Amino acid sequence: MKAIVFAQTGGPEVLALAEVPRPDVRPGMVLVKAHAIGVNFADTRFRQGTYVAKPKLPDTPGMEAAGVVEAVGEGVTDLKVGARVAAFTVKSYAEYCQAPASMVIPLPDSVSFVEGAAFPIQVLTAYHMLHTADSTGPGRTVLVHSAAGGVGLAAVQLAKAAGARVFGTVSSDAKARLVREHGADAVINYATEKFADEVLRLTDGRGVDLVLDAVGKPTFEEGLRCLAPFGHLILYGRAGGPTDPLNVAALSPKSQKVSGFMVPTVTRNFPDKTRESAERCFALMREGKLRLHIGKTFPLAEAADAHRYLESRQSTGKLVLIP
């Protein structure tokens, strides 16, 4: 089968299309013939060797895909060959990938493969930050950084669907328009405005109840400054670099909290919660309350170009590879 392989860590240029053996399905696993593959910022860090999981060279990037079940391993009873699915997996930049049965999500007929590839990591990261790591509902205010990205656009819509007031930050006016179209109550261009000052103005000095931060160093301190009493800042990425060390005592005057989040904590430990949350999000898609914005698709062979585009900070929504 064809797959994207890198033999050394580095820039996008290390990614190359290669012929590799198709994986044999193992007990408890499901082999998926990929129709669409999700691209995530974490894939770029995996390629660089700076992600939590380190590559075992030569290696293949990719953490999610959507397609059709090709084969099921011994002991798998709830998934059948031919079923349309999305999956949390590894080495997904390939024509076939393998995933534990518990990390495979049946796709409703109304959800395309491209939408399916955009769904697992970004939608469920947004959902579980709002509803598992925190409890978002009417009367709450949420600030979403990188609001025009895949997780950001999903978080804006899911928070609005839950009844919250939602602010987003973006780096350009074009991205601001997109975020408004997806329901944000206010959008702040952090390239031209101090977002913390604007958030405090919008909330009459109180601040927001929840900050979702995938940026890290450039936004962390100011995020704490515009956090309300008993507010919660969730750090789920560090696209702008790791934060400076936090003096936990600094949280005490306003009884605030800071936490980290990675969606595998849910998917690996709470499979029932994973499926249940996916079904809730699919229902919101059917109701028109959640739209997945596909920023661009690329042929699998052009994975390096997809990484360049993602790292350029010009992309919006989800980037998807088509094998």
pLDDT tens, per residue, the chain with 323 residues: 999 999 999 999 999 999 999 999 999 999 999 999 999 999 999 999 999 999 999 999 999 999 999 999 999 999 999 999 999 999 999 999 999 999 999 999 999 999 999 999 999 999 999 999 999 999 999 999 999 999 999 999 999 999 999 999 999 999 999 999 999 999 999 989 999 999 999 999 999 999 999 999 999 999 999 999 999 999 999 989 999 999 999 999 999 999 999 999 999 999 999 999 999 999 999 999 999 999 999 999 999 999 999 999 899 999 999 99
- Which residue type occupies 25? V
Q: Identify the helix (H) or strand (E) that includes residue 178.
A: helix 173-181
Whole-structure pTM value = 0.96
pLDDT at residue 186, rounded to an integer? 98
d(CA 215, CA 209): 18
What is residue 164's three-state secondary structure? Answer: coil
Q: Identify the helix (H) or strand (E) that includes residue 286.
A: helix 271-286
- Write b or e for each residue in 42-56: b if 16 or more Cβ atoms lie within 10 A of its Cβ, otherwise e: bbbbbbbeebeeebe
Number of residues assigned to the chain: 323
pLDDT at residue 216, rounded to an integer? 95
Domains in the chain, ordered, with CATH? 2-119+292-322 (3.90.180.10), 126-261 (3.40.50.720)
- Residue pair 126/158 in contact by the 8 Å Cβ criterion: yes
